[in-house]
Amino acid sequence: MKAAVYYETGPPDVFRYEDVPDPECGPGEILIDVEAISIEGGDVLNRAGGEMPTVPHIVGYQCAGTIAEVGESVTDRRVGQRVVTTFLWGSHAAKRVVPSVVSWPIPDDGLLVNCACVPVAYGTAHDCLFEFGHLQPGELVLIQAGASGVGVAAVQLAKRAGAIVYATASSLERLEPLYDLGLDEGIDYSHDGWVDEVRKLTGGAGVNLVVDSVGGHILAGSVACLGYRGRCITVGSAGREEQPLDVRALGAGNQTITGVFLGAEVTTPRAQQMIQDLVDDVARGDLRVIIDRSYELEHAAAAHAHIESRQAIGRVVLVP
């Protein structure tokens, strides 16, 4: 099969488009013919400097396609069924093998390319907002990096739950498409003073909940945006900036900060059903996916470079 592989981590041009052996389907697994690959933030970070369990390595958490083979003991999936899958690596390829438990059926009337973008981004957003963020109707929520995959999902889910939704991005132009999805106010966090802007929008009270997927100095700003008993969720830390955070100030406002990682929950019955519900919502059109650009798999380097330019809004997709 064809795959986008690399032999060492580094910038996008480490990718090579090569023939590699087809993966073999073992017990409890499914093999799919890949039709759409959603490039996740972790894919970019892993390519830039993550671990390489295999050499050459096929990076990638998430993709969707049609099941070509089911392994022994798999009874809830069938050949010919369309599914979206997640795993630690292996999405940037024409075929993929994953345990069946990390696959979710795509309804017959759902667009496969949209459903390919759901589990990681939408599942993460849902857990940040509800399972760990305890968002309630009428609360004020701030979504950092609102134009990201998680951000686009979180804006919609928060608005659907009855929240007042603020979001940040590196420019106000990148937030424009989010107003149709439920965004109430956008903030440009590329300049000094954005924390003061959030405080002003909330009448000085601060927000009830922040979902921060950036980390570093932005995380310190997120904490500064919290109101009394405010909750801050840190997830992903896409910026990978290492900056200590003094948590002593949280005590004065009875505030909390919680780290979230969907991967630790993804095989639980709760998360399994939650992700399936989100796939179904996207298939019906109750939730929307924004696809910024689509590239052929052989142009994986260009796709990763576009993501690193921080100009993308929503998802960037690869097609084998």
Q: Using CA of residue 237, residue 45, residue 265, residue 269, what is the dihedral sign?
A: positive
In a domain, 41, yes or no: yes
Q: Please state the domain count of the chain.
A: 2
pLDDT of residue 67: 98
* CATH code of residue 173: 3.40.50.720
Query: Are residues 140 and 108 part of one domain?
Result: no
Distance between start and end Cα atoms, the chain: 10
Q: Are residues 235 and 140 both part of a single domain?
A: yes
List the domain range (segments joined by +) for residue 244. Answer: 120-263
Q: Cβ atoms within 10 A of the Cβ of 264, count? A: 10
Residues in the chain predicted with pLDDT less than 70, given as ranges, are 238-242
* pLDDT at residue number 216: 87
Cα 117 from Cα 64, distance rounded (Å): 8
Position 239 scores a pLDDT of 57
Task: State residue 238's pLDDT score.
Answer: 61
Please choose, from the candidates 138, 121, 139, the residue with its C-alpha nearest in 3D space to the C-alpha of residue 231.
139
Predicted local confidence at residue 241, as pLDDT: 63
Residue among 147, 32, 20 nearest 80 (CA): 32
In a domain, 185, yes or no: yes
76-135 per-position pLDDT tens digit: 999 999 999 999 999 999 999 999 999 999 999 999 999 999 999 999 999 999 999 999
User: What per-residue confidence (pLDDT) applies to 244?
Assistant: 76
Residue ending a domain, choose from 248, 263, 278: 263
Read off the tokens for 125.
Answer: 């957003």
CATH of the domain at 40: 3.90.180.10
101, amino acid identity: V
According to the model, what pLDDT value does residue 249 have? 82
